[in-house]
Amino acid sequence: MDGMRLDGRVAVVTGGAGAIGSAIAADLTALGARVVVADVDLRGAEKVAAGLPGSVPQAVDLAAPESVERFCAACRDAAGGVDILVHNAGVSIVELFTSSDPANWDLMWQVNLRGPMLMTKLLLPGMMARGWGRLVFVSSDGARAGSGGEGAYAATKAGLFGLAKTLAREAARANVTSNVVCPGPTDTPMLQRVSAAEPGLVERIARTIPLRRLGTPADVAGLVAYLCTERAAYVTGQTLSVSGGVTMH
């Protein structure tokens, strides 16, 4: 199919060592992109990159501005710039809002929103100068619909909506698109840990989903990869859920 290849493009996937991030890195590699697997967990990033031809692992701590600055400088020096930036890294600390710890709000704000803002500020000018780029922000259906125990997390993830739409407007003339992908409940180690502590939880969640199953990392990666291609050149400023129909907007 024309317009689906990403040969010659350089893509950064943050949280690339994780469940969804590694699936995104694999799909972008399969389409021909050279992927920078970026994660605070360098060992994990190395393992993922080892299985993906042409990809490279790179450490970055989104909670530390100087680390983000070093990372972006290294990307510019080594790869000559970044064409595709997938903001997938995220942390979720589940606690009822009234008893939540503001120190946890700070960590989620730094990793989920401030880090992506800084990285975009540093890498978007290069995309705009070259006249082509893709920004994809991985948010959460928890931010669209609310999610018990995830108030601060949802607030940081909802911040991505406003950021992505504003960037869609500001960068459109430079042929850079900016979109948000919201996974619903996705079968990842994170969810498996929660369900181990609460037997039957996954089954109960699945019954509320019209497609009657949890999402997979590949379900999310497929949409992210599409948004990075030329086929999606006319799609910008959108927020799309990958949730089996549990949220319909």
Ligand X SMILES: NC(=O)c1ccc[n+]([C@@H]2O[C@H](COP(=O)([O-])OP(=O)(O)OC[C@H]3O[C@@H](n4cnc5c(N)ncnc54)[C@H](O)[C@@H]3O)[C@@H](O)[C@H]2O)c1
Kindly tell me which residue out of 63, 154, 163, 168 binds ligand X, with binding defined by CB under 6 A.
63
Return d(Cα 103, Cα 248) in angstroms, integer: 33
Which three-class secondary structure state does DSSP give residue 189? Answer: helix
* DSSP run (H or E) holding 28: helix 19-30
Q: Which one, 68 or 130, has the nearer CB to ligand X?
A: 68
Return d(Cα 103, Cα 1) in angstroms, integer: 48
For ligand X, the binding residues in 24-53 under the rule CB under 6 A are: 39-41, 44
Kindly tell me which residue out of 92, 156, 236, 241 binds ligand X, with binding defined by CB under 6 A.
92
Q: Is 244 an interacting residue with respect to ligand X (CB under 6 A)? A: no
Which residue's structure tokens are 């983000």? Answer: 68
Q: Is 91 an interacting residue with respect to ligand X (CB under 6 A)? A: yes
Q: Which one, 91 or 209, has the nearer CB to ligand X?
A: 91
Kindly tell me which residue out of 6, 111, 118, 223 binds ligand X, with binding defined by CB under 6 A.
111
Strand ranges of the sheet holding 239-242, from the earlier edge strand across to the other edge: 56-59, 34-39, 10-14, 84-87, 133-138, 176-183, 239-242
Q: Which one, 14 or 229, has the nearer CB to ligand X?
A: 14
Contact criterion met (CB below 8 Å) for 65 and 75: no
Kindly tell me which residue out of 10, 12, 13, 17 binds ligand X, with binding defined by CB under 6 A.
17
Q: Which one, 41 or 69, has the nearer CB to ligand X?
A: 41
Return d(Cα 242, Cα 232) in angstroms, integer: 17
Q: Which stretch binds ligand X (CB under 6 A): 2-10, 17-25, 77-85, 166-174?
A: 17-25
The Cβ of residue 72 has, within 10 Å, a number of other Cβ atoms equal to 21
Q: Is 186 an interacting residue with respect to ligand X (CB under 6 A)? A: yes
Active site residues: 153
Tokens of 131: 């006249």
Kindly tell me which residue out of 6, 9, 13, 21 binds ligand X, with binding defined by CB under 6 A.
21
Tokens of 137: 């922000």
Q: Is 20 an interacting residue with respect to ligand X (CB under 6 A)? A: yes
The Cβ of residue 179 has, within 10 Å, a number of other Cβ atoms equal to 24
Q: Of 68, 20, 32, which is closest to residue 228 (Cα–Cα)? A: 32
Compose the 128-157 pattern: x for residues touching ligand X by CB under 6 A, - for all others. Answer: ----------x-x-----------------
Instruction: Write out the residues near ligand X by the rule CB under 6 A.
Output: 14-15, 17-21, 39-41, 44, 60-63, 88-92, 111, 138, 140, 183, 185-186, 188, 190-191
